[in-house]
Amino acid sequence: MKKTILVTGSNGLLGQKLVKLITDKNEYQLIATAKGENRLPADENYIYHSLDITNKEEIENLITKVNPHYIIHTAAMTNVDQCESEKEACVKLNVDAVRYLKNACEEKNIFLLHLSTDFIFDGENGPYDEEAEGKPLSFYGESKLNAEKILIESKGPWAIARTVLVYGIANDMSRSNIILWVKKSLEDGKTINVVDDQWRTPTLAEDLAMGCYLIIKNEAKGIFNISGDELLTPYQMAIQTADFFKLDKNLINRATAATFTQPAKRPPRTGFIITKAREKLNYNPVSFTEGIGVMASQII
């Protein structure tokens, strides 16, 4: 009999990629959950339940009902500026929900995999390995670090997958990202200003889903950096995007982070060292250019 994986946030970008990957592999029973209606294509290979992760009773009732072996918790408030202005909602989604899940999983010995972020760091010493100490600059980063601390105290089996700047194509094309933005802007002949003094290791959503899957498959406990392995600025990403689609690079201007006014501070240089994930999980992400190619094949 197959073991069961429950995924939270299945309507989100990573959630969608996990549902596709897990159903394609056909090695586990899958329970997909998100708040409200299912926005994924209908599929007989998984069961969908609406779940409000800020509701302790809903979490406990569903876990008791479906009794999963593993939970991959992707649901969160990820808009960094929104977290700054809606702190109470951010805490409910990013901290309280993790506590509810941790307690429920601990009680039933369910393996809980939680998604975290490079924004738990201040960006002064990137790229980071799994042992680096978190020093967030934003309320979003603080909420995700607090969630990590809750999970680390669990007496049950747990893992944390930290990631960076996830990009990909959602089923309904509802989410933009730097690649789609650059492509459309240049196709429309618009001049764009792109930051060249912040560094990240951008992560293809399919790679992140695979990293999560490998953690579950290996029941690999602890913290893992799951990201791309190329340290790039958004400007460099924009140039690679223009090159891939053969668009006019002259429309792309270098800018500094100081050019833009944003409510939440961004860390200047994060990015991850992914040696642990490569060695322990056989995780092997695509290059950024290859990631653009994957996305290009999915654009409707």
CB atoms within 10 A of CB 172: 12
CA 202 to chain centre: 11
pLDDT at 100: 98
Average pLDDT over residues 167-172: 90
79-117 pLDDT, tens digit per residue, is 999 999 999 999 999 999 999 999 999 999 999 999 999
pLDDT at 243: 98
Fold of 4-168+201-231+270-286: Rossmann fold (3.40.50)
CB-based contact 147:102 (threshold 8 Å):
no
What residues pair up with 183 in beta bridges, in sequence order? none
58-86 pLDDT, tens digit per residue, is 999 999 999 999 999 999 999 999 999 99
170: nearest Cα among 207, 205, 208? 205
14-46 pLDDT, tens digit per residue, is 999 999 999 999 999 999 999 999 999 877 899
Q: Answer whether residue 262 shows pLDDT above 80.
A: yes
SS3 269: strand
pLDDT at 300: 66
83: nearest Cα among 137, 147, 139? 139
Q: Grade residue 261 by pLDDT with cuts at 50, 70 and 90.
A: confident
270-296 pLDDT, tens digit per residue, is 999 999 999 999 999 999 999 999 999
pLDDT at 43: 77
